[in-house]
Structure 1
């Protein structure tokens, strides 16, 4: 019995050791790919970027070539900076550098010259909305603060699943005066969103986009115009992080996998100001 028990313990220990540590920000599909990467032949490399972009190659002539190819493929999929996570059997990930990859942040002078749009480095459209206190305002009124701009709807299953996790990171950042969360509903009246959130115990500071219902496929602009919601959010949920000068530093379409992994990024941008 002791021998059998010992064998079981050995097998359990071996199984635990065999499970690879997962790279940050990867969703389920990316995690599956990383497990496949671990078993692939040398020379191989796995690259990642903030937001969950990834790429890997194997069977390359050298480790250097594998790394270069993985980084190039990854960079072709994202505006974020890709870095190496693993090369052959070595984990080369620099955890200290990871949360700085939204840098460099814009200066005020750079922001003035930036084009208006939703891409990284562009100035986000100046949306008009009613804030969580019931005050009509605009996105540009939050200049000087880092803004987490989140679009969702109670009609959207992925949005609903993400809300508790989003609430946790908002609460973790609540004591930082330099960060604001703007959570705007799409294609439904504010009363519908607010009622659903209340029933679920969601205490996020919800703002009102002004949507009149499911047929209203636009957001309001501060100048009095409108912009089609799909010009900002290809699908829901969609999230942007906007710096103190109104410039997009990060965007993510779809639910974010594990919001807690973004706390260090938010702290980094909140602690640094552009000139």
Structure 2
């Protein structure tokens, strides 16, 4: 199993479970990628908030796939099982930054995930990114760092539930960052403040915390085909591989 990683430079690197570098892609980003993902066809995509583009790497060459609407810049990405691409976009800056998610089918905008059934904004304004993952039932699971809440919406954009970390009864306040879903449709989210992972079922019921693996300030994470979690420490930058099932 290999995983792709990136940081504050122009490259995206693929490493194996032993940390050995398998290959490196040099992006076209002015600074560094804002987000990365892999399509259903196993092609790498990355976002660049300077150029407002999402780029796909095909046969070693970078091609612009999506240009976000004028005034909106892309950050995190998520590729769905249907082949759609979810793009977190923002406009403005600081605490006034507005956030929404756009679903693209190829290069074409399919829909926006912005408002609930009552016309209220699903995601809060603020300076932080939204982290996303699609569950097996088509739900879009979002870690909204601006309100320290996990928000899950169904295929139609209707809010199914919110999770605020309270059922876990941790010592410090819930501070969600990265989020993934696994083969069992469980939702796993990092908790930066409490050095642990929260595991929920697909309906938002708290199952347990993973807090016995020596995690330090976990931020992003990914799940591989063997069901292992690759968790990035926000303190050291190290990646820890966890067999949690």
Structure number, greater radius of gyration: 1
Q: What is the TM-score when the length of structure 1 is the normalising length? A: 0.26
Give the structure with the higher percent helix. Answer: 1
